[in-house]
């Protein structure tokens, strides 16, 4: 699904070469209101929620060993990474490159160890049919968790204006990045299932820690848990870098948010960055891991589907010929749309409270859009 989305966003991003991701795509192709709602969702939960989720997971992995509250750790990491991204684009780039390189090395090392160490117990069960499992509502809801582990496959489209030679490098970043992550994550989950029992893994947040203890004992588990915490910093860093660019671009277009459009002399949208971190802090303090994920998952999936559907419209209109063209069109777009409809339908039916909060958030965004038009007499 992520790869189908990456192919679609590469086409959109090389057609509409402005930062902002879905906000810019949907404003240009559908209607400014649709784009505004997408930007509003990005501002409130789209990036703050993944940062909060990763920070909360980091706190759970390290809190026990460090003797510090997981919530305190989550808050400190969010603030410190934000401080690094408040300096300059070069600093942001260096932080992201270093943390990503460390993350990949650690994941590869963990995967290699998982295949070398003989498992004591395994979660694999080949006795029942997968065809039965994918038809139950719980599978579709679980799919939301999986899509969140891939958060960032579309991140490059949010910083289009900061990418050199966007026609070549944006598709490369989106497609190759998604392929590499997909392979690593599939192998990583294979190791998790190979080295842990279903009973031990079920309902747990710190899966890597449990598997590491099974493989290496308590001390080895502690080391791996700290390594996983380092990996999570890379995810937090990526979202803190890209998310505020959506807010900043939206603020350029809508005077109600114009205070957040201002950049520093180093071209950093400082106000937008710290606004996102403030929302992240609120989510960490007030929401459980599962509630934050499901609440934000519905609206994010909705706008992702709308953005991928926009590829059909730009092809139909026959414009923007000097851009990347998604191969195998329209198969990737159809696959992404069908999967999105499947997930959205089950979320609406099985998680009405969290979905309702997502829809309420959209209603608030709609009111603010018309308030902006009324207050500033915009067309």
Question: What would the pLDDT profile of 116-146 be if each residue is shown by its tens digit?
Answer: 988 888 887 777 666 677 777 777 777 877 8
- pLDDT at position 379 is 60
- pLDDT at position 103 is 83
Query: pLDDT of 172-213, one tens digit each?
Result: 999 999 999 899 989 998 999 898 888 888 877 778 888 888
pLDDT category of residue 321 using cuts at 50, 70 and 90: low
Print the domain residue range for 107: 2-376
CATH code, 317 = 1.20.1740.10
Give the angle 312-21-31 at the CA atoms, nearest 5°: 60
- pLDDT at position 281 is 92
3-state secondary structure of 67: coil
Give the angle 297-194-139 at the CA atoms, nearest 5°: 30
225 or 197, which is more confident?
Answer: 197
- pLDDT at position 319 is 59
3-state secondary structure of 93: helix
Say if residues 289 and 256 touch (Cβ distance below 8 Å): no
Mean pLDDT over all residues of the chain? 84
As a whole number, mean pLDDT of residues 81-109 equals 85
291 or 124, which is more confident?
Answer: 124
Count CB-CB contacts under 10 A for residue 362: 18
What stretch of H or E contains 174?
helix 166-195
Judged against a pLDDT cut of 90, whether residue 8 lies above it is answered with: yes
67 or 376, which is more confident?
Answer: 67
Read off the tokens for 368: 């603010």
3-state secondary structure of 8: helix
274 or 323, which is more confident?
Answer: 274
Share of the chain above pLDDT 70, in %: 95
Closest by alpha carbon to 174, among 337, 324, 347? Answer: 324
- Please name the residue that has the structure tokens 């090389």: 14
> 242 vs 17, 20, 170, 174, CA distance in Å?
15, 9, 14, 14
- When mean pLDDT is compared across 17-26, 30-39, 87-96, 137-146, the lowest value belongs to 137-146
Read off the tokens for 74: 């989550």
Q: How would you class 328 by CB atoms within 10 Å of its CB: exposed for 0-12, middle for 13-18, buried for 19 or more?
A: exposed
CA quadruple 341, 343, 348, 350: dihedral sign: positive
Number of folded domains that form the chain: 1
As a whole number, mean pLDDT of residues 291-303 equals 76
Judged against a pLDDT cut of 60, whether residue 320 lies above it is answered with: no
As a whole number, mean pLDDT of residues 220-248 equals 83
Torsion of CA 300, 228, 242, 285, to 10 degrees: 60
What stretch of H or E contains 377?
none
Computed on alpha carbons and rounded to an integer, the radius of gyration of the chain in Å comes to 21
- pLDDT at position 378 is 63
pLDDT category of residue 222 using cuts at 50, 70 and 90: confident
Helices then strands, counting H and E runs in the chain, come out as: 15, 0
As a whole number, mean pLDDT of residues 315-344 equals 85
Say if residues 17 and 161 touch (Cβ distance below 8 Å): yes
Asked whether the bond before 339 is cis by omega within 30 degrees of 0, the reply is no
As a whole number, mean pLDDT of residues 47-51 equals 84
d(Cα 286, Cα 300) in Å, to the nearest integer? 20
3-state secondary structure of 225: helix
């Amino acid at each position: 699904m992520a790869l189908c989305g990456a192919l679609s966003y590469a086409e959109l991003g090389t057609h509409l070469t402005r930062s902002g991701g879905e906000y810019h795509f949907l404003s240009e192709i559908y209607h400014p209101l649709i784009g505004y709602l997408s930007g509003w969702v990005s501002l409130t939960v789209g990036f703050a929620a993944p940062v909060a989720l990763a920070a909360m997971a980091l706190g759970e992995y390290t809190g026990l060993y460090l003797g510090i509250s997981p919530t305190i750790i989550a808050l400190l990491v969010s603030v410190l990474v934000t401080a690094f991204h408040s300096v300059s684009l070069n600093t942001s780039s260096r932080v992201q490159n270093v943390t990503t390189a460390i993350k990949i090395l650690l994941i590869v090392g963990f995967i290699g160890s998982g295949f070398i160490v003989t498992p004591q117990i395994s979660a694999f069960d080949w006795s029942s049919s997968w065809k039965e499992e994918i038809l139950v509502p719980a599978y579709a809801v679980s799919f939301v968790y999986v899509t969140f582990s891939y958060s960032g496959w579309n991140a490059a489209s949010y910083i289009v204006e900061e990418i050199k030679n966007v026609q070549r490098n944006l598709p490369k970043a989106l497609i190759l990045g998604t392929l590499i992550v997909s392979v690593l994550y599939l192998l990583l989950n294979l190791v998790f299932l190979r080295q842990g029992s279903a009973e031990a893994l079920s309902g747990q947040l710190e899966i890597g820690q449990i598997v590491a203890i099974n493989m290496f004992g308590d001390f080895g588990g502690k080391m791996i848990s700290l390594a996983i915490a380092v990996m999570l910093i890379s995810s937090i860093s990526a979202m803190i870098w890209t998310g505020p660019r959506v807010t900043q671009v939206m603020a350029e277009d809508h005077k109600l948010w114009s205070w957040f459009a201002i950049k520093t002399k180093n071209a950093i949208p400082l106000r937008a960055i710290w606004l996102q971190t403030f929302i992240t802090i609120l989510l960490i303090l007030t929401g459980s891991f599962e509630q934050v994920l499901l609440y934000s998952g519905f609206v994010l999936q909705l706008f992702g589907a709308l953005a991928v559907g926009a590829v059909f419209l730009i092809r139909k209109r026959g414009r923007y010929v000097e851009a990347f063209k998604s191969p195998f069109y329209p198969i990737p777009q159809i696959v992404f749309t069908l999967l999105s409809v499947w997930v959205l339908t089950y979320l609406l039916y099985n998680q009405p409270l969290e979905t309702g909060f997502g829809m309420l958030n959209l209603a608030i965004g709609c009111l603010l859009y018309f308030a902006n038009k009324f207050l500033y007499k915009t067309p």
